[in-house]
Each structure stands twice: as C-alpha cells, then as structure tokens.
Amino acid sequence: MPFKLIVNGRSTTLDVPGDMPLLWVLRDVLNLRGTKYGCGIAVCGACTVHIDEQAVRSCITPIASVTGKRVTTIEGLSSDGSHALQQAWMDVDVAQCGYCQPGQIMSAAALLTKNPNPSDAEIDASVTGNLCRCGTYLRIRQAIHKAALIVNQRSKRSTSTARNRSNKEIRWRHGK
C-alpha cells in the first residue's frame, strides 16, 4: 500500500509495508542515514525525528501512522550545518563518539521550538530519554543554551532588519 508523507520538506510516496518502522524507511528506503538505530524499543533516543514538529522515536513508529504528516530528520534541520543547534554543537564540541547526537539535537530542536529560553531543568527533562554513552550531558546542556542565544540573536537581527526596511520604505514613499 502506498504511503504519502513529507520528509524534510519533500513530498514522497512510498510503497512499503504499513508496519515497517519509520526508522527503516528513512535509513533503508530513503537513504537518510543521520537517524540512528540504537535499541529498537524507544529507550535510547538515537532514532528521534520530528513528526509535525513533535519529537518521536522512529524505531517504534509504523509508517502507516505518519501518512500525510511532515517528518523532519537531522538532515532536514539544515543541509549546510547552519541550524543554531548544529552550530552550537560544533562550537561547544559536544560530540565524542557522536552516535547519539542526531537524536539529542532533534530532541533539543523540539524543545527550542516550544520554549526559546529553556532552563537547565527544562533542558534536562527534554533530553532525559536520549542516552549518551560518552556522558557529554553537560556539554549538551551548554550547547542548547548557546543555540537558544543564537536563535534569539538571529530573531533580533531579523526584526531589526525588517524594521529598517519598513522605515526606509516609509521615508521613500514620503520623499524623506
């Protein structure tokens, strides 16, 4: 049975079994290898993706349950690494082995979408289900705080730029 969904902004139709986990669709059918297989029972968080902007474990999510929905993987945050979390991860040098990092980043992205200025406790709660065998939790928290600052700075610049453009247009229309 064909399933239609939007993966990283692209509409796609897939003819796979309805009970096939989304993780295997992403990795084996669509060749999006950033999402990792860890435990297969939704405990480790390595397979975290967004479904309609909600962090979800793809290893236990059947493809039939996501038909018509928007799926975002780590590759979909930005193709060039310019997403605030990707930039902060590199700036803080979070990764050691790196295996859990796509899931960590996707959980963090869902948090920052809902809460652009999270506290330490809110960050810890949002990534609690993401296991890091290297123990980089303090750097993960630091990177999430840094990403929040980056997002807020970009937002201020964007607002300021829009305001300046609007003011210039007003002056132009009024001959000033």
CB 14 within 8 A of CB 2: yes
* pTM of this structure: 0.86
Tell me the C-alpha distance between 7 and 22, whole Å.
Answer: 11
CATH 3.10.20.30 domain span(s) along the chain: 1-77
Distances, alpha carbon 112 to alpha carbons 20, 143, 155, in Å? 30, 12, 13
Q: What's the chain's Rg over C-alpha atoms?
A: 19
Class level of CATH domain 79-176: mainly alpha
Q: Does domain 1-77 sit in CATH 3.10.20.30?
A: yes
CATH 1.10.150.120 domain span(s) along the chain: 79-176
Render pLDDT for 62-121 as a digit per residue (tens, 0 to 9): 999 999 999 999 999 998 989 999 999 999 999 888 899 999 999 999 999 999 999 999
Indicate the helix (H) or strand (E) that contains 54.
strand 54-57
